[in-house]
Amino acid sequence: MTSIVSARNVSKSYGSTLAVDNVSFDIEKGRIMGLIGPNGAGKTTLLKAVLGLTDCQGTLSVLGLDPFRQRKDLMQNICFIADVAVLPRWIKVSQLLDFLESIHPRFSRERAEELLAQTKIHKTAKVRELSKGMVTQLHLSIITAIDAKLLVLDEPTIGLDIIFRKDFYANLLNDYFDEERTIIITTHQVEEIENLLTDVMFINDGRVVLDTPMEAVSERYVELMATAENAAKAKHLNPIYEKDVFGKKVMTFEGVEREQLQGLGDLRTPDVADLFVAKVKGAAQ
């Protein structure tokens, strides 16, 4: 496999604040990585480093390039959507397509127009006349029409209603993703992207606390809901986190075989949000 992003001992400080703390990871080609963490965890700083918007200590390679020193070359193969991304409110959709066609060698106007034809966006409309959802559709149509190798999405669906959010991710899979492209997504709406992900990375206080393929989650982690009596027995197997729910104990285990927990209660694979809480709060217990 080929690493699209490779980080070794990457750190970034803002004054006395250590935003990213000595992280190392690889993101392979053809994967969809979910970067999950609370506000202030270091997600945006890490994405800025990947995009070449800030320098950092350590070694960071994106598409085989130094993102800070070779950003011009890198940007020909990266697309980016953020919750704060804005387009000039005065510009018409057709003018935006004209502009992109003139500056980006990998932009296909024909493809963009095909995608926009599937929406209610008119080429004569100005950006200020579009709803937030339509602006997001416009962004997605544009980036999907660029033959880029890496797509970075930083909270792309904030403020959108559930229908737009569902359509956004469905279109992302149907119209953009393939085994030659790679996607990094960061969002607080974890449950909406969980089924899209091939890999997940948890970051907290600037440190990576989990980096694993999604298929490994069910192999490494199991959640047990048990009565107090059975929970006392299960506790000898050293859960990484436990909480009380409706008078029962919910315990998360790492590296414990399900056979060892059989008969002690209901077993399931934790979803990504619950696993994140278990890894972060469990480490603080």
Query: For the segment 251-277, what is each residue's pLDDT rounded down to a tens digit?
Result: 999 999 999 999 999 999 999 999 999
Residue 279, domain CATH: 3.30.70
Place of tokens 């056979």: 259
Same domain, 52 and 155: yes
Residue 22, helix vs strand vs coil: strand
Q: What is the CA radius of gyration of the chain?
A: 21
Same domain, 110 and 248: no
**Long-range pairs, 45-51, Cβ under 8 A, ≥24:** 45/12, 45/19, 45/20, 45/206, 46/10, 46/12, 46/20, 46/203, 47/152, 47/154, 47/184, 47/186, 49/10, 49/12, 49/20, 50/5, 50/152, 50/184, 51/78, 51/80, 51/152
255 domain residue, yes or no: yes
Same domain, 197 and 275: no
211 domain residue, yes or no: no
pLDDT in tens, 53-65: 999 999 999 999 9
| Other C-beta atoms lying within 10 Å of the C-beta of residue 73 | 14
Same domain, 98 and 227: no
Same domain, 254 and 198: no
| pTM, two decimal places | 0.88
Same domain, 97 and 168: yes
Same domain, 190 and 222: no
Spell out the per-residue pLDDT of the chain, length 285, in tens.
578 999 999 999 998 899 999 999 999 999 999 999 998 899 989 999 999 999 999 999 999 999 999 998 898 889 888 765 578 889 999 999 999 999 888 899 999 998 899 889 999 999 999 988 888 888 888 888 888 899 998 888 777 778 878 887 888 888 778 888 899 999 888 888 899 999 999 999 999 999 999 999 999 999 999 988 898 899 999 999 999 888 889 999 999 999 999 999 999 999 999 999 999 987 655
Residue 8, domain CATH: 3.40.50.300
210 domain residue, yes or no: no
- Point out the domain boundary residue: 205, 234, 264: 205
Cα–Cα distance measured from residue 35 to residue 187, given in angstroms and rounded to the nearest whole number: 8
Same domain, 108 and 194: yes
- Record the tokens describing residue 266, joined without a space: 């209901």
Give the number of domains in the chain: 2
Measured between alpha carbons, how far is residue 28 from residues 45, 137, 155, 204 in Å?
20, 27, 21, 22
Q: Which domain holds residue 241?
A: 217-284
Same domain, 36 and 170: yes
Same domain, 115 and 223: no
Same domain, 103 and 244: no
